[in-house]
Amino acid sequence: MKKLLSVLLAIIIFVSLAAGCETGERETESDASATVSEAEKQLVPHLGDRDLEDFTLTFFTFGVEGDTDPYEVEQFNTDEQDSEPVNEAFYNRNRKIEEKFNCNIEVMLGGAWLEFPGVVRQLINSGDTSFNMLSETLINTALYSQEKLLTNFIGMPNSNLSLESEWWDGGLIEQCSINNRLDFITGDITVTDNEATNVILFNKDMVNKNNIEDLYTLVEDKKWTIDKMYELAKSVVEDDGDSLMTVTGNDIWGNIGTAQTVMSFVNGFGLTTTIKDTEDIPQIIVKGQDYITAYQKVYSYLCDQSVTAMDRYFYEWNDTNIQLVSKMFPEGKSLFTSNYTVGGVNGEDLRNSEVNYGILPYPMLNAEQADYYSPVWVYSNGFISMPNTVSPDDYDEITFILEAMSYLGKEMVLDEYYTRTLKRKRLNDEESRAMLDIVFKNRTYDLSVIYSWGDIYYENTYNVLAKVDTIVSRLDAIYDKMEAARQSTIENFS
């Protein structure tokens, strides 16, 4: 009997413990579910919940109603759902932010691009507060910055920006700050900054016709260099029979280019006109041998008029016929073109072209170069800044919304833009899609170009147009001007 009681007692104790364990497990699982559920409720987890009490964030950008490029306005706000998937993703992002945080996101258009800077200056200098964020081209934004019209994002009080996070462009922040000041930023809040990334296009049918080695493999093997590009460009040149290379006949060129791409090639070598010291102060290095060698490599290629059809070699900049040169690649009359950005691939000429084209990063200087680098075109918008007319009392709300927009740009827009639109719609082969990952890996910004120190961008352009390799003497001639402009910028940022 005692043995039976002992057995029954043991069973009761075991069942009780088991039930307790199961209940504990259910409670733990319930608690975990509650935690997950709570996290799911957070639209932007690191910002949490908040009522912004109907605060309005207004972006001011160039454009005329009904006449803007894709995404330029919609990336900041659109009041209507769009059949274009990326724009619809932007629409959904903004509506979620407005509904969750009780705020408003609006866009104000300031007219045509050429007139826009005058409008910006007039409004800021007059103390206008009709907008609290500005979106402009990178080069114009830098001008406003030097004129002390903008606000520094680094160390901004009451800021909610996580600028070290992946949804902001860390490359721009690292490369473009001066003396620990930065008046403009970009990231997944926009896509036009990505559209501004320069690329090389090539004619795949021409590659096959001329038995040219696989260009994608060259890139992957780190053998895609300026010398190799020049060699291959030479190999396809074909006169149409009149012993004269023109852009109006049926001649086949190795490359279609513009003088403005000089700096793009140099930046593609991972070289810029400046390096920054430990105090975040840029020092000009254009007299260094590495820079001189890089420039001369580019000069030899672009100035070889038997290989490269440069638009300004045939027409003045204001001649409408100058467009004939850029159209030659879509017409199948060139192996390479350096005239395109990522956004340009979506242009009408290529959409209507029968050319089977592929995309490549800019070539390396030589095989010893560590990686590929992609220059950013400074005349595209998508770079945002805050006018100095904004009250510090509003920094909190403004940066809260900006942070939410950029974070949710990564979560809700990036895949639609990068994977579905860029890779699947604009490119028709897996290899080119893989090239895009290389293109976006290392984007470069050149401070002398952005801040127009010594007009180096135009100086190199004019030097190539003159077809006289005088880079050493020309840099000597403008160096003092560059240095004075650099010093002025640093003083403005002190």
Per-residue model confidence as pLDDT tens for the chain (494 residues): 434 334 333 443 443 444 444 445 444 544 544 444 454 579 999 999 999 999 999 999 999 887 778 899 999 998 877 778 999 999 999 999 999 999 999 999 999 989 999 999 999 999 999 999 999 999 999 999 999 999 999 999 999 999 999 999 999 999 999 999 999 999 999 999 999 999 999 999 999 999 999 999 999 999 999 999 999 999 999 999 898 899 999 999 999 998 888 899 999 999 999 999 999 999 999 999 998 899 889 989 998 999 999 988 899 888 999 999 999 999 999 999 999 999 999 888 998 999 999 999 999 999 999 999 999 999 988 999 999 999 999 999 999 999 999 999 999 999 999 999 999 889 888 999 999 999 999 999 999 999 999 888 877 777 777 776 677 888 888 899 999 999 999 998 87
Class of domain 55-194+380-423: alpha beta
Residues 472 and 296: their CA atoms lie apart, in Å, by: 10
Please tell me what DSSP assigns to residue 185.
B
Predicted confidence at residue 333, as pLDDT, reads 97
Do 203 and 329 meet the contact criterion of CB atoms below 8 Å apart?
yes
**Residue 337 token pair:** 């073109």
Q: Is 124 exposed, middle or buried (0-12, 13-18, 19+ CB in 10 A)?
A: buried
User: How many secondary structure helices (H) and strands (E) does the chain include?
Assistant: 20, 13
Task: Tell me what pLDDT residue 9 has.
Answer: 39
Any idea what the Cα angle at residue 30 is, between residues 26 and 32, rounded to 5°? 120
From the CB of residue 218, how many other CB atoms can be counted at a distance below 10 Å?
18
Parse the chain into domains and list their residue ranges. Answer: 55-194+380-423, 198-375+452-492
HSE of 421, CA atoms in CB hemisphere, 13 A: 21
CA–CA distance, 449 with 209 (Å, rounded to integer)? 39
How far is residue 255 from each of residues 13, 32, 235, 314, 329, measured CA to CA in Å? 85, 60, 11, 15, 8
Which residues is 201 bridged to in the sheet? 337, 359
Residue 157, both tokens: 């009080």
**8 Å CB contact between 309 and 334:** yes
Nearest residue to 233 via CA among 207, 208, 259: 207
First to last CA, the chain: 94
CATH assignment, 198-375+452-492: 3.40.190.10
Nearest to 308 by CA among 340, 341, 344, 333: 333
- What's the CA dihedral at 211, 212, 213, 217 to 10 degrees? -130
**pLDDT score recorded for residue 469:** 64
φ, ψ (nearest 5 deg) of residue 159? -90, 140
Q: Residue written as tokens 């039976």? A: 4
In one-letter notation, the amino acid at residue 376 is V
Q: Identify the CA nearest to 304 among candidates 386, 245, 264.
A: 245
For residue 16, the model assigns a pLDDT of 45
CA-to-CA distance for 365 and 292, rounded, in angstroms? 12
**Do 61 and 107 touch, CB atoms closer than 8 A?**
yes
Q: Please enumerate in sequence order all residues whose Cβ is within 8 A of that of 38, keeping only pairs 6 or more positions apart, or say none.
A: none
Whole-number Å distance between alpha carbons of 447 and 378: 11
Q: Do the domains at 55-194+380-423 and 198-375+452-492 have one common CATH topology?
A: yes
3-state secondary structure of 340: strand
